[in-house]
Each structure stands twice: as C-alpha cells, then as structure tokens.
Amino acid sequence: MERKRSTEAVGKTLAEKIWAEHVVRRADGEPDLVYIDLHLIHEVTSPQAFDGLRLAGRPVRRPDLTIATEDHNVPTLNIDKPIADPVSKLQVDTLRANCKEFGVRIHSLGDKDQGVVHVVGPQLGITQPGMTIVCGDSHTSTHGAFGALAFGIGTSEVEHVLATQTLPLQRPKTMAINVEGTLKPGVTSKDIILAIIAKIGTGGGQGYVIEYRGSAIRALSMESRMTVCNMSIEAGARAGLIAPDQTTFDYIKGKPHAPEDFDAALAYWKTLFTDPDAQFDVEVDLNADELEPFVTWGTNPGQGLPLNGVVPNPAEFADSEARTAAERALVYMGLEAGTPLKKIAIDTVFLGSCTNGRIEDLRAAAEVLKGKKIASSLRMLVVPGSARVRLEAEAEGLDKVFIDAGAEWRNAGCSMCLGMNPDQLAVGERSASTSNRNFEGRQGKGGRTHLVSPLVAAATALRGTLSSPADL
C-alpha cells in the first residue's frame, strides 16, 4: 500500500513549488529562510511573543500581513458582558492592547469576523492558493485546503514572524494520500481523515507535508476539504494541502479580500499543481468506496474504527506499544472490549471547532435534527466557528432547528474542543464531538471524547448512543 520514492524526480510536487517560491535565502548547512505571506494570531500563544518584541525594541515588520482574533478561551455565552474568568480576560485584554500598540488588525468578541482563527481566514478571503500561512496553533493546516502551505508554530516562532515575516525552516518530505472512488451517502470528509489517521497512525505523517489527491478529494466542497487538511496534524504531519481547482477559485471569488486583479491571481493559481513527473517520498492509497462513518474509541485520534465495529480487544494488537496504549485507553474511556460502538451512551454532543464548525457542517447536522428532539439523556452544544457563520445560520433559520430540537445555540469560539473556556466535560462525562482531539482530559479533566462527523453527531444526539443517520 505504501510506495516509496524510487528515482530522482524531475518535476516538483505542489508543496515543493510553493516552498521554492518563498525561499528568501538558502545557504549550505543552514535551514532555508522562508517568507510568510500571512500570520494569524490569537490570545493564547501570542502574549509572550509580543513581550519579546517589546523587550528587544523590535516592531512588527508587516502588520498588513498579520491578523488577530479571539477564539481559544472566549466564553460562548453572555459575550456582551466582561469575561468572567479573570485569566481569560487577562489574555484577551493583553491581545487587544498588543494589537493596538503594534498596529495589528483584530476581530474582537462582538465583531462579525471574530471566531476560530482557521474559520476567519478563509471567510475573509485572505487564505488563498500558493501562500505560506502560519499561526501559533497546530490546526493551521486547515488553510492547506486552498493549496497553501500552512502550518502551526510555537510562540518563539510567532515572535520570529512578527519581527521578520520569515522563518528558518528545514525542508519537509512529501507524502501523497490518494483517495479514489465515491463516498457512500452519510460518509463525509471527516470519515476520510479519521480513516487515514487510523491507517497511518498519529506519527505516520511526521516530517512530511501531505498532499491529498484523487477523485474523492476533488469531489469534496471547499469546506469539506478544510476538514481533511485540518486533521493532518493528528496524522503527525505539520501541513496538508490540496491542489486548487475551480471549486477553490469559486469559493474565493466575492470574498472581502479576494484579489482585485482576480485574473492575474487566477493565472498564477492555475500553475499550482504537482507536476505529472514529480515524485513523492511516500504514497498511500485509500479506497473511498469502502469507507463507512468513522468514530474513535480511544485516547488518540489514530484509535478509530468504522461505527459498525466493536471496541477492540487490546490482546489482539500485535505491536506491544499499541497494546499498552489500547489497554490504557480502554481504562480511561471506561469501555469493555467487544462492546458494539453503537451501544455506547453519550452525555454531551459538541458540534463546532475549526474541524467542523463551518456553515456546511451546521447545515448537515440541522438537516438530520429538523423537526426532531434530542434524547433527554444528553445535552448538545452547537458552537458556530465564527460570528459570521452564526449570522449566516440564523439567516437560514438553522438556529431555530437546533433550539427546537433541544440543543444550545452558542456564540463563536474554540469552546469545548479544548475546554479552555467554561465549556468543559465533567469527570467521566462522555462526548461525541466533531472536534479533532480525543486526548485524555482534552475537553475537561476526566472527560471522555469520541470524535465523529457532524452527521454522526446529530444522529447520536437523537438516539443517545453513537449512531449514524442510517440508524434513524
């Protein structure tokens, strides 16, 4: 299934093309100095970076290539009131003060372009093909859906980009994941990426940029492509991308920051594909015809199975490390080997995040919930990815569908995806979550997370146990 590079390639892969176009300086024995086209910032990973600039007396080199929003720890209720949590308030106030001092554009709570940073970039049209995009957040890979090289960085690198608009970087290796075929009804891009991670493992993409290719990827909408690229990091890859095509161009057209000279940009974007004679370091194939709705059972995103399956028996894992990890995961998750996944009862359904908090995701879930009531045994939180998504959903009446079904309709933010704000699981509480990480305690100390698609989230909310719309 895996093929490795055999001979020296002549052509370039898409990632290699974008990289080459952004090298500011190359010297033997040193990392390439790479230019950054767009820097997204938020309240959690930026305060120490701005502080570093201040201490050294350095300005932000390109405020016009920088944009900030508040997402990681903001409340999703009562946003017209001061933030109740004093430490969250401190971080948000610090971000606002830093943006003011350094001349950086910011979208604060209450603004229509406030929201999860990876939802905001694309909706403004500032995420475009062929760009290098960074943010102090590992899910920056989301922007790769536009054919951009986009990856998460640490706070020291945030400071480096603020000061120089560049980063010294080692060239990554390239991996192609070919997804050919047609998805069955009820199977989504979330299921594609969960299946990929289960196949290659959480370390499978380490050191690589992944390019997602094949007919099943081409058939995806822009927002579904973002879901796939978003979780590249859960496969260990710092970045994942998809070559731009008409779907991409149509999505950008008409957005606030779409290029004024659209034709000039388009001519360039059309050069952004992997050359036919290029070779990847590794290729992996996946058959879309065979995919089923996927769900995680364990405590890392690679511990996933088709929803029709049963909780695995750790004793059947050949690899001793995987066996130990599975044993530990079942204890933490409070699950018995052999239990059908569909018998697992859920306490909380979370619909939102940079993985699945866009308008399409809300539409898909609302379609399932329309005219029905969620199970009385659980609660459901619907958290739009941005204030703009929330407004759009309200214009379509989706908020009413959710509220009538018994779900909570919240304001935009990262919310329960990482439990930094008050939206958290209690000890032992079990969620079906459209987010991206099922780590121990990720959604709240002692909380248990099953990662699912928006369709599975909605069906689960109705039945009270992990379910797909086909079970209704």
Judge whether 276 and 11 are in contact, CB under 8 Å. Answer: yes
Give the CA angle between residues 354, 107, 93 to the nearest 5°.
105
Distance between start and end Cα atoms, the chain: 36
In this complex, which beta carbon is closest to other proteins, that of residue 159 or of residue 245? 159
Least distance CB 280 / other proteins (angstroms): 18
Least distance CB 164 / other proteins (angstroms): 5
In this complex, which beta carbon is closest to other proteins, that of residue 136 or of residue 454? 136
Least distance CB 245 / other proteins (angstroms): 18
Q: How far apart are CA 133 and CA 38, in angstroms?
A: 5
Residue 414, C-beta contacts closer than 8 angstroms, at least 6 positions apart:
71, 72, 73, 74, 116, 353, 354, 420, 421
Least distance CB 321 / other proteins (angstroms): 5
Residue 211: phi, psi to the nearest 5? -110, 120
In this complex, which beta carbon is closest to other proteins, that of residue 293 or of residue 385? 385
Q: Which two tokens stand for residue 210?
A: 């992944």
Least distance CB 366 / other proteins (angstroms): 27
Residue 94: phi, psi to the nearest 5? -65, -45
The helix-helix angle for 47-56 and 155-164 (nearest 10°) equals 50
Least distance CB 227 / other proteins (angstroms): 18
In this complex, which beta carbon is closest to other proteins, that of residue 58 or of residue 370? 58
Least distance CB 418 / other proteins (angstroms): 5
In this complex, which beta carbon is closest to other proteins, that of residue 207 or of residue 397? 207
Q: How far apart are CA 213 and CA 218, in angstroms?
A: 7
In this complex, which beta carbon is closest to other proteins, that of residue 10 or of residue 87? 87
In this complex, which beta carbon is closest to other proteins, that of residue 66 or of residue 468? 66
For residues 119, 124, 126 and 130, what is the CA-based torsion angle, rounded to 10 degrees? Answer: 60
Least distance CB 29 / other proteins (angstroms): 5
Q: How many residues does the chain have?
A: 472
**Gyration radius from the chain CA atoms:** 21
Give the CA angle between residues 56, 57, 58 to the nearest 5°.
90
CA distances from 272 to 33, 140, 148, 222, 267 (A): 21, 20, 9, 16, 10
Least distance CB 121 / other proteins (angstroms): 10
In this complex, which beta carbon is closest to other proteins, that of residue 137 or of residue 361? 137
Q: How far apart are CA 30 and CA 23, in angstroms?
A: 12
In this complex, which beta carbon is closest to other proteins, that of residue 259 or of residue 406? 259
DSSP state of 309: S
In this complex, which beta carbon is closest to other proteins, that of residue 171 or of residue 372? 171
Least distance CB 145 / other proteins (angstroms): 16
Q: How far apart are CA 337 and CA 329, in angstroms?
A: 11
- Helices and strands of the chain, counted as H and E runs: 16, 20
Q: How far apart are CA 414 and CA 384, in angstroms?
A: 9
Which of 93, 22, 103, 36 shows the shortest CA–CA distance to 272? 22
In this complex, which beta carbon is closest to other proteins, that of residue 277 or of residue 315? 315
Least distance CB 82 / other proteins (angstroms): 16
Residue 82, C-beta contacts closer than 8 angstroms, at least 6 positions apart:
89
